[in-house]
Structure 1
Amino acid sequence: MRPELYGHPFASHVWKPLIALYERGVDFTFQMVDGEHPDNQARIAELSPTGQFPALIDGLRPITGSNAVIEYLDLYHGAAPPMVPKDPRDALDARMMADVFDDYIHNPMQRIVGDALRAKNETDPRGVADARAALERTYDWLEKRLQTGEWAACGQFTIADCAAAPALFYSDWVQPIPQLHSALAAYRARLLSRPSVARVVDEARPYRKFFPLGAPDRD
C-alpha cells in the first residue's frame, strides 16, 4: 500500500516532507486538504492535535508533524541517502539546523503572515516588529554560518535543507534577505534550483494569489 501524505501544496510545512519524498523517490498518494475535500479535512482533524498538516498514513500507522514524517521515510521508504545522517554527530547538526529554520525563520515568518490575514482592529504591530527583528538577527547568524559549504549541515542535503527551503522561500517575501547577505542569498538560490525543491515550488504556483503579502514573480 502506498503511503498517503495529507496537506496542501502551498503550505510551507507540507513542503518539507514533500521534498524528502521526492529526494527519496517514494511512490505516494497526496491527499489534498481543503474545502473541496471535506473527507480529507475530517481525516486530518483526527490525525493532528490541532487539525494542522502534514500527516502521513502508512498502512495503519499515522505519523504527524513534518520532521517526524521525514525521519519515518528514512526508516521505511526510499533508497536515497537518509535526510537525517546515520552518524549521530552529523544527525545532531542536521536536526539543530532544521530547528533553526523552523523556530527562527519559519515561525517569525508565519507570525507576520498571520497578522496580515487579521482584521485591522486585531493586528499586532509590536508582534510583527518583533518577528521582523528576529528574522534579521537570524539572517545575520545564517550569513556567517553559510560562508562555506553547499548545504546547511554535514556537507550534504539533509532534513535541515528540507526545513530551509520553505522557510527561506516565504521569509524572503515578507522580510527580504539584505543584499549584503550574499552567502544566504546564494544558499536560497541553490535550494530553489534543487529538482525536489523546484518541483514543490511549481506545484504551489497556482495558489500564490492567496498569499496576503504578495507573490513576487522572481521566484
Structure 2
Amino acid sequence: MNEADFIARLRTLPLHPGARGLVDDVAVLGGLIVTSDTLVEGVHFLPGDPAADIAWKLVATNLSDLAAKGAAVEGVMLNYPLRDAAWDAAFLDGLAAVLRAYDVALIGGDTVSLPAGAPRVLTVTAFGRDARAPARSGARAGDGLWVTGTIGGAGAGLAIACAGAGDAALLARYRRPVPRLAEGRALAPLVHAMMDVSDGLLIDAARMAAASGVAVA
C-alpha cells in the first residue's frame, strides 16, 4: 500500500475535529497546536551525518510545522532509540543546542533499545499555542502565493553531504535548517492559508490547492 492509499484509509477512521481531515500540517486541540515528524536513517538523513546535526534537524522540522501556523512554541516530546553510547551523547548535545537556540522546553517522551545495525527511527512531537493557525485548506481564488526565504538550499546541501565537499552554508541548510517562527507569527493574522514547504514548492503548492479546492496558476 502506498502512502496516499494509506492516508486515504486513515481518513475513513473516526477522526477528532482537530485533525482537520488529516490534510493539514498540524492538529488543533483547544488552544494547542500539535505536530509530529519522524526522521528515518537512510531516508531522511545519511548514516554518516553528525548525530548533533540530526538532533537539530529533528526538532527544527517540527518547529517549522508550528511556524507554518504562526504558533508560539510550548514544548516538545522525544521518542528515541538507544543504540550507541557515543552517538547518543552527541545527539543529546545537539538536542540541547536546538532547544536552547529556540527557547524550547522538553516535555517528555519515550526511549527504546535498538539492536545493532537496525536503522534509527527518531520522532518528535511538538506543541504550540495560537488563536488562529491558518489551515492549508483556507486558500481562496485570487490569493497570491508567497514563500519566505529561498527554495532549494537543503537539496543542494544534501548533494554536498553526499559528495563530501562543497559550500558550508548550503550544507548547513540541509543539516541545521532554521524554522521561520518569527515570520510565521507575523504572517498568520494576514493570510487565508499557510503550510510548511517540506517536499518541494510545486508538490506542496499543489497540496494546498487541492485541500482548498482551488488551482495554482
| TM-score when normalising by structure 1 | 0.26
TM-score (norm 2): 0.26
